[in-house]
Amino acid sequence: DSSLIKEKYPALWQSAVTHGTPQTRNAATVVGNILRASPAGDCSCAVLAHGGTVVLEGPDGRREVDIDDFWLGYQVTARKPDEIALEIKLANPGKSTVSAFGAQTRTSLDCSKINAAASLSMNGKICEHVRLAIGSVAPTLLRLKKTEELLKNTQVTEDVLQRVADSVPTEINPIDDVRSTREYRLEVSGVLIRRTIQKACSL
């Protein structure tokens, strides 16, 4: 329950504060959540929105892998079998950066049916840079790069947010599983991203 993380990386703090059980939160790590490579990983979704690198070390030395390139497939990562993960380095947020995490029908012990995180660098009411992440809609967590373009150098208005919400389903490919259905995830994905942006921007 770090006050520094809460201040600088709200999306990560929000994703972690109710993650699993108290026992899990006291023993587990964000790096462990990233290495598990679950497309439903809450902390992983937030880290993807914040941006950063995973620091790996093995017999050939130390290297850093951008979080955007770390998940190669379902529960498959860029970590080699003879490497260990030492830490994650999060991008340094500017004073005008805001972020938030959101999930559907998740309480504290279950996996999210769908989750999302947003990080926006604002200049007044104009969004200068944005990273949108979404989970449980593909074999890996996703950056919504096409949808991000709708927000860049733009005022975050209701019209823009509606275009953002409409764009999200075109970038995802969810499946039916024990937690939810493809149809549900397609239906709520845009709404969840929109609400997460509104939460980040206090709209």
How high is the pLDDT of residue 159?
A: 97
How high is the pLDDT of residue 86?
A: 96
How high is the pLDDT of residue 56?
A: 98
Q: Are 37 and 74 in contact (CB under 8 A)?
A: yes
How high is the pLDDT of residue 194?
A: 98
CATH of range 3-90; options 3.40.50.620, 1.10.10.10, 3.40.50.10860, 3.30.465.10: 3.30.465.10
How high is the pLDDT of residue 104?
A: 83
How high is the pLDDT of residue 107?
A: 58
For the residues of 9-53, what is the DSSP string, one character each?
Answer: -HHHHHHHHTSS-HHHHHH--HHHHHHHT-TT-HHHHHHHHH-EE
How high is the pLDDT of residue 112?
A: 81
* CATH code, residues 97-201: 3.30.390.50
In what helix (H) or strand (E) does residue 93 lie, and over which residues does it extend?
A: none
pTM: 0.94
Q: Where are the domains of the chain?
A: 3-90, 97-201
Q: How far apart are alpha carbons 18 and 107 in whole angstroms?
A: 8
Question: pLDDT tens track of the chain, all 203 residues?
Answer: 688 899 999 999 999 887 666 777 777 889 999 999 999 999 999 999 999 999 999 999 999 999 999 999 999 999 999 999 999 999 899 889 999 999 987 655 667 889 999 999 999 999 999 999 999 999 999 999 999 999 999 999 999 999 999 999 999 999 888 888 999 999 999 999 999 999 999 98
Q: How far apart are alpha carbons 116 and 134 in whole angstroms?
A: 4
Q: List phi, psi (to 5°) of 114.
A: -160, 140
